[in-house]
Structure formats: structure tokens, C-alpha cells
Amino acid sequence: MLNVHDRGSLPLRNAQAGEWAEECRTIGEAIAWQARVRGGSPALVDAESHGVTFAQLQTCIASFAGDLARAGLTREDRVGLLVAPGALGAQLVVTLAANTTLVPLNPALTPPEIIEVAKRAELKAIVIPRWLDTPGRPAILAQGIALLEAVAAADGALGLEPVGPARGPAAQVRPARDSDVALVLRSSGSTGAPKLIPVTHGNLVAIAQRHGSDLWYGLTAQDRAACISPLYYATGLKSSLFVPLMLGASVAFPPAGRKLDRAEWLDVLKPTYLSVSPGLLNGILDRLRAS
């Protein structure tokens, strides 16, 4: 995995790193802190003109806490998400991981594959963006798994709506702790069946602290990360999404299917940080040399 960081003359030290490190122990605490400090600053942007500020992201996290509780889901419950691309998909990833135990899923999975992952990961519910085209909805309901649709209001605010019968009484949801699992990722399965890999809030905070230190990349709120890797893979989730956001940096998403095309997004979104595989980086460099 390669990390590329180019801020020119921008300072390398995050002046607020010490204060941030003492106060923030979870995803929700980190986003809430950034919302207080730079609420109107962009958190998520994409080439389709979708934008989410830190204040809006914090509002969404608080709103989803109520939606999930009314659906009977607790913080410990594992909730799958068919991950849509772009800023709206990333907003769902962050919001669900802040409130529950998120299991991100490839949106291209077939219905049998979705059910197989759901059983293996012991999912209590699956969230599907209403705007995502997938044939998986009937299969999920047929298995008795709770299905919730993410819906976008006219002003861009996101909410959750249950599909099918009610799942029982509302749940009591406690605040997150650093030891709580935020993400359950799947390994590539190159040496056998994919393994389930838990990632705690504390793990993500520690990774963000390292990325923000002068010994690593010195990432600050002045940076913008280009999120090219899919958000159902560890690299896209940790290094390209959660770490920059928790440090107050914005995250930019190129157009779907045009990740290697400089003319489509690089000059517009102006990222300063990129974390990708060597193969993907070579593809970008080849396009740059040819332009």
C-alpha cells in the first residue's frame, strides 16, 4: 500500500493534535469535536457536486442514533450496508459505524452472496440506499433479516426507513466506548474462506493519531484525501475515509468509473493525500503521463 502526500508549503504539524487526542476516543466524539471547531467546513465532497459539512455529518450521526434505536438495533448489533459510491455512500458508512457495528458489503453482491455473508457475519439488519439498484431486497426479507432503506430528503439530509414488519420494541442505545467494535471487515480470502476482522473505535483513533503525527504524514484539517479505493475494503475505509475525517481533513470522491482519469476530477477536487495500491497508483500515473 502506498501513501502519497503533497501539501507544498503547508505546515506539517497539527497544532490541535494533542487536544484532539485527549478528548476523542470514538468516531462519534472525533466528528463531534470537528463539528464544533469547523462545522461549516467540507467533510465529504465529490465530482457530482454532493457535499457534506462536518456539522451536517454530526447531525446525521445524531439522527441515525434515533432511527436505529427505533428499529430495535443496539450498538453491539452487526448491521450490513450495501455501500453506494461517492459522498452520500461515505456519509452512510461513517454514520452507521459511529452508531452500531458496521459490516460494509460490496453492492455488486448477488442475493445468494448477500445472504451467505449475512449468515456468516450474523447480521441483525441490512441497510440499502434507496437509490442503489440491487436485486437483494426480496432475499433479505425472505430470510427474516431486518431491512432498512436509507433515504435522502430534498435538502440532502439522510434518514432510515424500515421495510417490512416491525422488529419489536425500541432499543436502549448507550454511548460508544473506545473498546467497542466499529467495523467488521472481511479478508480477501486468498488463503481460504474470508475471515472476519473487527476494528474498534480505539483502533481507528490510534491510526488517525499516527497519520496526524510528524513521524508519519502530518495530516491536518488543511488536507484533502482522495478516496479511490472502494469503501467495503480496509484501505478505503481506514486510510482514505475515517483517518482524514477524524483529523478534520476533507475527503474527495472521483466520478464513479473514472478513478484513473485526471481530467475528470484531479484538477477539480485538488486532493493533497492519496492512499492506494501500487497497481492503482501506476494506472493513475500512466494516465497523467499520457495527458
pLDDT at residue 89 greater than cutoff 80: yes
Using alpha carbons, select from 1, 23, 7 the residue that is nearest to residue 214.
Answer: 7
User: If pLDDT is split at 50, 70 and 90, which confidence band does 11 have?
Assistant: very low
Q: Which residues contact 19 (CB under 8 A, 6 or more apart)?
A: none
pLDDT at residue 161 greater than cutoff 90: yes
User: If pLDDT is split at 50, 70 and 90, which confidence band does 10 have?
Assistant: very low
pLDDT in tens, 204-220: 999 999 999 988 999 99
User: If pLDDT is split at 50, 70 and 90, which confidence band does 134 have?
Assistant: very high
pLDDT in tens, 171-209: 888 899 999 999 999 876 556 677 899 999 999 999 999
pLDDT at 290: 78
pLDDT at 9: 34
Mean of all residue pLDDT scores within the chain: 87
Q: What are phi and psi of 35, to 5 degrees?
A: -65, -35
Query: Which has more confidence, 88 or 187?
Result: 88
Alpha-carbon distance of 181 to 96, in angstroms, equals 12
Strands 273-276 and 250-253: unpaired
Q: What is the pTM of this model?
A: 0.90
Q: What are phi and psi of 253, to 5 degrees?
A: -120, 125
pLDDT at residue 257 greater than cutoff 70: no
User: If pLDDT is split at 50, 70 and 90, which confidence band does 76 have?
Assistant: very high
pLDDT in tens, 14-45: 445 545 656 899 999 999 999 999 999 999 99
**CA dihedral of 145, 203, 274, 92, whole degrees rounded to 10:** 30
SS3 content of the chain, % helix, strand, coil (to 5): 40, 20, 40
